[in-house]
Amino acid sequence: MAEMSELEIQNRIIHFISDELGIPPDDIDVETNLGTYGLESVAASKLVGVLDKDLNLGLTEIIVFEFPTIASLSGELQKLSMAEAS
């Protein structure tokens, strides 16, 4: 499992949203609900796949709906990553 900081996870999510949904990275706010950007089930599933490949935590797409902002999602993923490492 690759260790990533919360900021690295945030940046990974921001770049995914930018690439997948065509939104400039500077227009993406980490406190805005991901649904606001048009992140729906298919894109959420892709995002989880990318993050799980990076973090190897056995994630499911439900995490995107439980933690619906980049800030909350990256914070939770960092916690899970730290717990997995210990």
Q: What share of the chain is helix, strand, coil (3-state, %, to 5)?
A: 70, 0, 30
The conformation of residue 31, written as its DSSP 8-state character, comes to T
Q: Supply the pLDDT for residue 1.
A: 46
**Contact between residue 11 and residue 79 where contact means Cβ atoms under 8 Å apart:** no
**Contact between residue 34 and residue 10 where contact means Cβ atoms under 8 Å apart:** no
The pTM assigned to this predicted structure is 0.92
Domain locations in the chain as residue ranges: 6-85
How does pLDDT run across 27-77, given as a tens digit for each residue? 999 999 999 999 999 999 999 999 999 999 999 999 999 999 999 999 999
How far is it, in rounded angstroms, from Cα 25 to Cα 13?
10
How does pLDDT run across 6-31, given as a tens digit for each residue? 999 999 999 999 999 999 999 999 99
Q: What is the CATH T-level fold of the domain 6-85, as seen in this structure?
A: 1.10.1200
